[in-house]
């Protein structure tokens, strides 16, 4: 058992916003086989999303152990980011497939082009621990709860419940956003909770954080 989870990587392009139009055209020009750009669909997505930000949809044909996919670049205040990569045929991408396609896009298109215009490409790690998603205090309190809890009863024991609440408050104070799916995966895959209990705790987490936010607002 490892303390790291395989995750979908995030990618962003940062740089001088004044040069983004030039960057956009260069990225489009760099999309050669097996990559291409669907400008018609790009405009349609931007209209449907009611956004003023630039949207560019890339397509990659299947081949070299990669499935056919669509990759979206979405404009930001200083460049672009990739909100998602989706399969163009049925099924879902595994973590490995998603990250491999992203790496292929960076190698073939993003990295060579961005360097010409003073932009940089950043990515998150493909394997992460809770320390990548939580503040040091929140991560410590989650480990305390999980390490001491009776994994057959969840957070029902008074002492376990207190440690669980300590974790919720720490997350709320630090404004961390680990995500319920990722939290459930960590509890199950890393710390040994059964799958049902892990998902129940993740659901309790979502409710608890929402309640704390509601309390602050009212």
Convert the pLDDT of each residue in 116-128 to its tens digit.
999 999 999 999 9
Look at residue 64 and tell me whether its pLDDT is greater than 60: yes
| CA angle, 196 then 198 then 202, to 5° | 115
Task: Please check whether residues 14 and 122 belong to one and the same domain.
Answer: yes
**Alpha-carbon gap, residue 47 to 52, rounded angstroms:** 9
Tell me: do 84 and 140 sit in the same domain: no
Token reading at 209: 């954080």
Q: Which two tokens stand for residue 162?
A: 């207190």
Do 100 and 136 share a structural domain?
Answer: no
Region 35-59 average pLDDT: 88
pLDDT digits (tens, 9 = 90+) for 66-75: 899 999 999 9
- The gap from C-alpha 137 to its chain's centroid, in whole angstroms, comes to 22
Q: What is the pLDDT of residues 162-212, one digit of tens each?
A: 999 999 999 999 999 999 999 999 999 999 999 999 999 999 999 999 999
Among 99, 127, 155, residue at a domain's last position: 127
Point out the least confidently predicted range of 39-48, 76-85, 184-193: 39-48
The arithmetic mean of pLDDT across residues 84-97, rounded, is 92
90 in the same domain as 13 = yes
Count of domains observed in the chain:
2
Whether residues 99 and 193 share a domain: the answer is no
Question: pLDDT tens digit string along 19-33?
Answer: 999 999 999 999 999
Q: Same domain for 66 and 134?
A: no
Residue 166, pLDDT score: 98
Question: Residue 36: beta bridge partners?
Answer: 59
Q: What is the pTM of this model?
A: 0.84
Q: Are residue 115 and residue 155 in the same domain, yes or no?
A: no
DSSP state of 133: T
* Mean pLDDT, the chain, whole residue set: 93
The residue from 93, 127, 161 where one domain ends is 127
* pLDDT value at residue 160: 93
Q: Which pLDDT belongs to residue 2?
A: 65
The Cα–Cα gap between 194 and 120 comes to 42
Domain limits for position 179: 130-217
CA distances from 189 to 9, 146, 182, 215 (A): 19, 13, 10, 32
């Amino acid at each position: 058992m490892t303390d790291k989870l395989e995750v979908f990587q995030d990618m962003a392009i940062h740089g001088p916003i004044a040069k983004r139009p030039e960057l956009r055209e260069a990225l489009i020009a760099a999309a050669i086989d097996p990559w291409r750009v669907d400008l018609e669909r790009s405009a349609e997505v931007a209209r449907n999303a009611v956004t003023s930000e630039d949207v560019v949809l890339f397509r990659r044909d299947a081949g070299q152990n990669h499935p056919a996919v669509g990759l979206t670049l979405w404009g930001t205040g200083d460049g672009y980011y990739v909100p998602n990569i989706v399969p163009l045929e049925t099924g879902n991408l595994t973590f490995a497939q998603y990250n491999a396609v992203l790496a292929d896009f960076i190698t073939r298109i993003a990295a060579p082009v961005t360097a010409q215009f003073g932009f940089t490409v950043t990515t998150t790690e493909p394997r992460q621990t809770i320390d990548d998603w939580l503040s040091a205090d929140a991560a410590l309190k989650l480990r305390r709860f999980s390490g001491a809890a009776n994994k057959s009863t969840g957070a029902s024991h008074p002492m376990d419940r207190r440690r669980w609440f300590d974790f919720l408050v720490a997350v709320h104070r630090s404004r961390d956003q680990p995500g319920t799916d990722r939290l459930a995966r960590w509890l199950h895959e890393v710390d040994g909770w059964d799958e049902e209990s892990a998902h129940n705790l993740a659901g309790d987490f979502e409710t608890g954080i929402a309640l704390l936010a509601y309390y602050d607002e009212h």
